[in-house]
Structure 1
Amino acid sequence: MPIFFRNVKTFLRAAALMLALAPTAHADVQKFLIPAGEGGGWDTTARETGAALTKMGLIGGAKYVNYSGEGGGRALNALATSKEYKDALMVQSLPLILRSLSGVYDRSFRDVTPVAMLIAEYQVVVVDKDSPYKNMNELLAAIKDIGKRKPIVGGSAKGSLDHITALAVLEAANMSSKKLRYSASDGGGDAMRKFSNGYALAMVTGMGEVVKQIKSGELRALGVTSAERLEGFDIPTMKEQGLDVVLANWRGFFVAPGTPDKTVTKYADMLASLDKSPDWKTVRLKYGWESLYIPAQDARSFLEEQEVTIRRLLNSI
């Protein structure tokens, strides 16, 4: 039944009320900047974060921008310089420091603003379900014999955490890094495509990138870089197999430089609420992630400490 207004003033008041009550469908949609293609650890973390925040009602929805190139360097540069991403949350991780120190990135964490660290993820070495290799020592023997002909695939660029993990395992086994041929990829999806074609001996990547394939039995996990076995997964640690390698990859979110403090605090509080939620705990257990919430006010010093540790690791390998 149509509604008529007796005069213009009444109409304008009603119109203003309708506008005030109308849903702002796009006003609180959060943009996530992902520095690689789909299927990798950055992509999974951003999309799971966006989905969980939306479910909790902390954001009205999420928009994901996969901006790959230069091992994540293009996205870092875009966040630091482009107004297009001034309201975006960029997911990043330990490679932000690693690639800055190794010269892959022209910029560092100092060129953007940390919001909060959120999770820690461990590295895992996997082979195909039909692979003859049942443990790390058998794989290392194969690398020693044919490692220059058949590579180890990683989900990221040379000089990345995946590459460093492979080198650290070889060092722990007293093997020369010259035995290793590392094949870089643009994210976990690209790595899986290479690996599924029988191209490589094994793949080293973040646990969350291959957790579905491990659970389904498509891939066999030979070793994980955690100090103890991860809850819900029967994967032997590297240390159990005589390899003194413990590596954790933090993941967190950053915003553009110059973002107002109140906005950074708002985002940090939002992620703090996420970290404490039962829904997020379910997500973490699904991917083998551990909680590592560090708020904005402490994130900078955490990153500086990480920089010292990574520089020492790079110098030792």
Structure 2
Amino acid sequence: MMHRRAFLRSTAYGAAAIGLLPGLSGPAAAQTVDTLKLFVPANPGGGWDQTARSIELALKQANLIKGAQVTNVGGAGGAVGLPQFVNQWKGQGNALMVAGMVMVGALIANKSPVKLSQVTPIARLTGEFQVVVVPAASPHKTLADLVAAFKADPAKVSWAGGSAGGSDHILAGMIAKAAGGDPKKVSYVAYSGGGPALAALLGNQVTCGISGFGEFGEQIKAGKLRALAISADKRQAGIDIPTIREQGIDVELFNWRGVFAPPGVKDADRAAMIDLMTRMNASPAWAEQLKARDWTGIFLAGDAYGKYIEQENARIEAILKDIGLA
């Protein structure tokens, strides 16, 4: 997996790739977009939807767009919405789809005939570390305790998280494999969102849970959940949680999100969208959104982002095969 420092080293801005967006009367760098169309292959309120709303707000505050339209089509980790974006939004130069690592896994797990390779990579924007937690009353005080219990009897250790094949499930499988256990024996309980998973944890209905730190942060601070590990490459400022790696398990994971243009867009439109995201990423308005939502900026654009997507597909497919979902 790409190390976080490699994320930062590989940042690509594509600022020279400036074209004309539909409805513009001059160079994209000097104009605003009349209407940006944002396609979210998930229901309102989730991480991708939050990303789309943050993009809209930051672009408006930075005077880079005049308006935006957000369309939500949820289901199966993006596997329902992607075909619509590919077939019905083809060639629309002022449109972007928000997606991320969860879609990569969902498409593989659902054996979707429509692939992420059919859309046009524009930019990776944000990343979020995952955290492994247990209820406050759990006998497992450390990640080593949890892993030992799993290896002793996998069926007695239930892992709560989001959709099957998503980032939470992937991390559980990675931990099991790296610790010398059988990832196919992970007893994973998939929930529709962070809320139901949190309720199961607080009700002591599951052994442990995995989600983005933002989902569990307040309950950790309140002492209702105990954080055992975070999937970062190093300790995070202001978050007193040991990494998985420092506890002897060679695993780290970044749940990334980014944007894609439809298939069939003109080269000038692709270049203009890369430039639009580059300017947004450099804006104080976007920095405010990252801070407000506890997201880490991991900007990567254009061809470099496209290469990263290819690597992600291969990496996640291998992990899902380990888990038994591919």
Could you say which TM-score interval applies, normalised by the shorter chain? 0.7 to 0.9
Q: Contact conserved, 2:183 with 2:322, CA < 8 A, in 1?
A: no
Bigger shift: residues 36-45 or 118-127: 36-45
Aligned length: 290
Asked whether 1:99 is paired with 2:112, we answer no
Cα distance in 2 between the residues matched to 1:39 and 1:48: 12
Q: Contact conserved, 1:185 with 1:191, CA < 8 A, in 2?
A: yes
Q: Which residue of 2 aligns with 1:300?
A: 306
Q: Which residue of 2 aligns with 1:24?
A: none
Out of 127, 134, 137, the residue aligned to residue 127 of structure 1 is 134
Asked whether 1:42 is paired with 2:48, we answer yes
Out of 196, 203, 210, the residue aligned to residue 209 of structure 2 is 203
Q: Which residue of 2 aligns with 1:112?
A: 119
Q: Contact conserved, 1:126 with 1:202, CA < 8 A, in 2?
A: yes
How far did residue 108 of structure 1 move? 1.4
Q: Which residue of 1 aligns with 2:235?
A: 229
User: Aligned in 2, Cα 1:110/1:32: closer, same or farther, shift over 3 Å?
Assistant: same
Report the residue type matching 2:232 in the other structure: S
Out of 169, 173, 176, the residue aligned to residue 179 of structure 2 is 173
Q: Which residue of 1 aligns with 2:162?
A: 155
Query: How high is the TM-score relative to the length of structure 2?
Result: 0.76
Cα distance in 1 between the residues matched to 2:39 and 2:177: 35
Cα distance in 2 between the residues matched to 1:52 and 1:244: 36
Percent of pairs with identical residues: 36
Bigger shift: residues 280-289 or 67-76: 280-289
How far did residue 165 of structure 1 move? 0.7
Q: Contact conserved, 2:136 with 2:223, CA < 8 A, in 1?
A: yes
Cα distance in 2 between the residues matched to 1:85 and 1:192: 41
Report the residue type matching 1:191 in the other structure: A
Bigger shift: residues 263-272 or 143-152: 143-152
Out of 136, 154, 161, the residue aligned to residue 143 of structure 2 is 136
Cα distance in 2 between the residues matched to 1:33 and 1:208: 23
Partner SS, residue 145 of structure 2: helix
Report 1 or 2 for greater relative contact order, CA contacts < 8 Å, sequence distance ≥ 6. Answer: 2
Post-superposition Cα deviations, 1:11-52, rounded to whole Å, max 9, x if no partner, equal xxxxxxxxxxxxxxxx94534322233443323322322222
Cα distance in 1 between the residues matched to 2:130 and 2:195: 16
Cα distance in 1 between the residues matched to 2:35 and 2:196: 29
How far did residue 288 of structure 1 move? 4.4
Post-superposition Cα deviations, 1:59-79, rounded to whole Å, max 9, x if no partner, equal 334444332212210111111
Q: Say which one has the larger Rg.
A: 1
How far did residue 231 of structure 1 move? 2.8
Query: Which sections of structure 1, spanning at least 5 residues, go unmatched?
Result: 1-26
Cα distance in 1 between the residues matched to 2:162 and 2:219: 15
Report the residue type matching 2:76 in the other structure: E
Query: How high is the TM-score relative to the length of structure 1?
Result: 0.78
Query: Which sections of structure 2, spanning at least 5 residues, go unmatched?
Result: 1-32
User: Aligned in 2, Cα 1:232/1:291: closer, same or farther, shift over 3 Å?
Assistant: same
Q: CA RMSD in A?
A: 3.0
Q: Which residue of 1 aligns with 2:77?
A: 71
